[in-house]
Amino acid sequence: MGAMKAQPENSASGPLLMDPFGRAITYLRVSVTDRCDFRCVYCMSEDMAFLPKRDLLTLEELDRICSAFVGQGVRKLRITGGEPLVRRDIMQLFGSLSRHLDSGALDELTVTTNGSQLARHARDLAACGVRRINVSLDTLDADKFRRITRWGDLTKVMQGIDAAQGAGLKVKINTVALKGVNDDELETLLEWSHGRDMDLTLIEVMPLGEIDGQRIDQFMPLSLIRARLASRYTLKDIDDRTGGPARYVRVEETGGRLGFITPMTHNFCESCNRVRLTCTGQLFMCLGQEDAADLRAPVRASESNELLERAIADAIARKPKGHDFIIDRRHDRPAVGRHMSVTGG
């Protein structure tokens, strides 16, 4: 694929996208692929059927949609997947979007990754203006890592984290708390992360997509984990925000930050500033709702952005107040049928 043709530069003074509840939408999460080189047990079935490549937005279309959002006041873009760094020529998209950082229209361009491809891409990400990244990592035990991811190699992830820090990227570790799987090593993960100057964020398992097994067996409320950690460490609430849903504490013994994302036991909808674009151009106004707007059709219908901007405005106007996540204990059905890898982290 040749060099991407950049869309015209967008103004940082574009109108804010306001939802019906007065929340400014300043954060767009963009899934560039539903594919992944792992098959984590809480995220996917082992035998996944992925989307045909013809259904995916091209890199140019992804750039155009992201740029339209930046032009309407979005200040943060997070590239997700699946595993975003397995998308062919993905660094072309980062390189093109970096112009919005250079112009000041965008505050942050970042990525969530499983770390498997970081050793190859870390320096290029830094060169594109990426300053911090999230790495999803649920255990430091190589055998357990293989069981959780089914296909993953912990050594490659560790090499990727080394490369990211070597390139000057600030790394945050995201860990899904899984009852009976990794809940016994959260203290170890905490001290390891903080010992390497990395924040750690703990996440409750979410009821998205059919998986092999039962989520009720995986779910562990973070309120219990926080109480356990508080018996060993001094946790001080802080007001730090990184643009996402995590609530942070400072761990006085380590000096590091610990975040909690609790969509099940304490939702964070009242301050939601996010929408999510799938790799096929569907815009989800809420991770926990099925309502979506098709942005691929207006992009492909016209070279002008008028139809696209109208579709975005119409979608934001129906953003819901909150999600309806619940783990169905009677029937073990997911609250939402699509997998997390489809919506994008």
**Which tens digits make up the pLDDT trace of 126-156?**
999 999 999 999 999 999 999 999 889 999 9
Q: Sorting pLDDT into bands at 50, 70 and 90, what band is 37?
A: confident
242 vs 135: CA distance, rounded Å: 15
List residues forming the annotated binding site for S-adenosyl-L-methionine: 42, 82, 136, 206
Given a cut of 90, is residue 119 above it in pLDDT? yes
Residue 292: C-alpha distances to residues 30, 48, 82, 289 (Å): 14, 22, 19, 8
Q: Is the CA virtual torsion 333, 339, 344, 345 positive or negative? A: positive
Q: Is the CA virtual torsion 62, 130, 270, 221 positive or negative? A: positive
Given a cut of 60, is residue 9 above it in pLDDT? no
H or E element at residue 155: helix 154-166
pLDDT for res 45: 75
Burial (CB count <10 Å: 0-12, 13-18, 19+), residue 267: middle
pLDDT for res 84: 97
Q: What proportion of the chain, given as a percentage, has pLDDT over 90?
A: 65
- What domains lie within the chain, and their CATH numbers? 17-343 (3.20.20.70)
pTM: 0.86
Residue 234: C-alpha distances to residues 185, 191, 227, 229, 254 (Å): 18, 13, 11, 8, 9
List residues forming the annotated binding site for [4Fe-4S] cluster: 36, 40, 43, 269, 272, 286
Lowest mean pLDDT among 46-60, 80-94, 329-343: 329-343
List residues forming the annotated binding site for GTP: 29, 78, 112, 172, 274-276
